[in-house]
Amino acid sequence: MEDYVKIEKIGEGWWSKNVFVFLKYCPDFLGGVKATKERGPTWMLNLEVLESSSTRMEMSQDDVSSFALVQILALHSDHGPRDHNLIDGVTDGSGSGTSDSSPPDSALVSAGTYGVVYKGRHKSTGQVVAMKKIRLESEEEGVPSTAVREVSLLQELKHPNVVRLLDVLMQESRLYLIFEFLSMDLKKYLDSIPSGQYMDPMLVKSYLYQILEGIYFCHRRRVLHRDLKPQNLLIDNKGVIKLADFGLARAFGVPVRVYTHEVVTLWYRAPEVLLGSPRYSTPVDVWSTGTIFAELATKKPLFHGDSEIDQLFRIFRTLGTPNNDVWPDVESLPDYKNTFPKWKEGSLSSMVKNLDKNGLDLLAKMLIYNPPKRISAREAMTHPYFDDLDKSTLPAACINGV
């Protein structure tokens, strides 16, 4: 921490006490080894953490199957997870929220999944950074599982449209994740546009394409973000947008494993998640991106329910109530009820009036009920909607050879 100085506080939020062994996870396809129960003093990210004789390691079968264990840092408690759906906002210097311990000279900007976020500066280089402080109640309880996921996945996700994790530091009982700093999130930007005005159509197109590039990059590396929303998309003043807050992300394998459906802020949640599907994959991120696409065009959430059932009904009123004909086996999902009102398909164009014909066609393909039929991120990037977008000016152009 001696290399960094805090400038101001920019966020604070909840943290999960469901803290697994603090591991450096590495998916098998990246060359990791199968998870074991080895223990001992180890090094990771230049941090030394000594285990006490009372510590122990536990991993769920899901984690053992989905990840490979490289190194162990600390151990966890048996507390259950917090409900992340109650959390609105992100860290990394974006969003809005409140703090119960903000010093007088700090400027609070965001709420997040856990800990406090400061705007900081590297003492030697002067680089401005976002410093996410992870609160640890005790050495025995270790580090929040959301932080474990974020650290382990971001080390492998190096892309111009994914926020960069620059460093990981330990100071006393605090863990700091050092990120590149972006001054605003997409939600704040949309809120800043004056009433009666809308985002420039080419900027909508550019932002959507960049989001898809980031999502496609993650999906190729078998990573689901699972919490895409405007608050988790950070922007700079050069037209670049980046995926952030990977605290709920998961690596996935084949076949897709059973995951909790208590993820993704309600308004951006895919119908298969809302209906309790125990298995889901990359289409959940595409659905979320589709709802964000509509919000880019209108400045308003496409489906803004105040409960899971209200969210479902808002979707049904627009897209029609799904049945086994349009979505095979949907009526067998845990939370599907035969008593659901039977709405006929409405019109997306009446709700999203600022998109042209190609834009509406792409949006409709991103919001297809049946997940296997939903357009993929890669397929979406080749849609005619983007034909007039100069992709050579985008940050990932050098990677893609454009």
Catalytic center residues: 227
DSSP state of 197: -
Structure token digits, residue 309: 């059932």
Backbone angles phi, psi at 299, to 5 degrees: 70, 5
Q: What is the three-class DSSP state of 361?
A: helix
Which residue, among 380, 354, 397, 393, has the nearest Cα to 209 in the 3D structure?
Answer: 380
Of the candidates 402, 120, 396, 400, the residue with the CA atom closest to the CA atom of residue 240: 396
Of 144, 147, 154, the residue nearest 223 (C-alpha): 154
* List of residues 6+ apart from 255 with CB closer than 8 A: 279
CA 22, 162, 168 angle in degrees (round to 5)?
35
Read off the tokens for 72.
Answer: 């162990």
CA separation for the pair 237, 211 (Å, rounded):
16
- Between strands 42-44 and 241-243, the pairing is unpaired
Report the distance separating Cα 125 and Cα 10, nearest Å.
21
Residue type, 241: I
* Chain centre to alpha carbon of residue 331: 28
The residue among 99, 146, 136, 144 whose CA lies nearest residue 118 is 99
CA dihedral 128, 230, 383, 311 (to 10 degrees): 160
In the chain, how many H helices and how many E strands? 11, 14
Instruction: Give CA–CA dist 152/71, Å, rounded.
Output: 11
Give the relative orientation of helices 283-298 and 201-220 as an angle to the nearest 10 degrees.
170
| CA distance linking residue 219 with residue 126, whole number of Å | 34
